[in-house]
Amino acid sequence: MLQRPPPKSARDDLPTGLKAPDGITAVEWLVARDAVPYEDAVSTMMARTDAIAAGHASELAWLLEHPALYTAGTSAKAEQLIDARFPVYSSGRGGQFTYHGPGQRVAYVMLDLRRRSPDIRRFVASLEEWLIRTLDHFNVRGERREDQVGVWVRRRDKGRDHEDKIAAIGIRVRRSVTLHGVSLNVDPDLAHFSGIVPCGIAEPRRGVTSLLDLGLPATMLEVDAVLRREFEPLFGDTV
């Protein structure tokens, strides 16, 4: 059976990858084994980006999980918070409401765009490409969408035009250094997303999914290994 090609995104035309010039220190790769409170993560990111901007610290990719919570991006609307069953935090990142919690891999990426490329759209496209390549390892075809930042999966088992979001992106740039990043649903409780309008998307044909929901159970260690492997061709060596 012939399949329709995925809708083309303007970001498909952007070059992806933001490798630093030769001689730049490798990106520190840090994985938190215990859940990190959101406020602690934000304060750590702010301090680290200041240090990176001042030339006192290396760039950082920080992988972690949060306790169950909701965050509101700079475009969030009050009516999109349906049931505040978990703590709600205002966030300086772009985007609207999202959920973070156990079973979701969050990756905060702190890169110095002065040494790479100041093109924010290219940076976002590179984050999407990172996630798409990671999902491909697990036999999941992730796709971009012109009207939404993030990565989507077609769900023909739910209807011909149905699609679910499996990974979200929300970033901020401070002193030319990126902070916040991406979240990939590995095996979170998807019912927790019902307390919000995720990413402002209320269309019946669009929902939220995870690797487990797609019938592809994976451990966080397996996901982390693939994320690191696919990060390096796009952003450079890690240490």
Known catalytic residues are: 199
56 in Cβ contact with 149 (< 8 Å): no
Q: Are 56 and 103 in contact (CB under 8 A)?
A: no
- Helix residue spans in 16-119 (DSSP H): 38-53
To the nearest 10°, the Cα dihedral for 128, 129, 134, 137?
Answer: 130
Cα distance from N-terminal residue to C-terminal residue, the chain: 45
CB under 8 Å to 12, separation ≥6 — which residues? 125, 144
Torsion of Cα atoms, 173 then 137 then 25 then 92, to 10°: 20
Contact (CB, 8 A) for 68 and 38: no
Structure tokens at 44: 């750590």
Residue type, 151: V
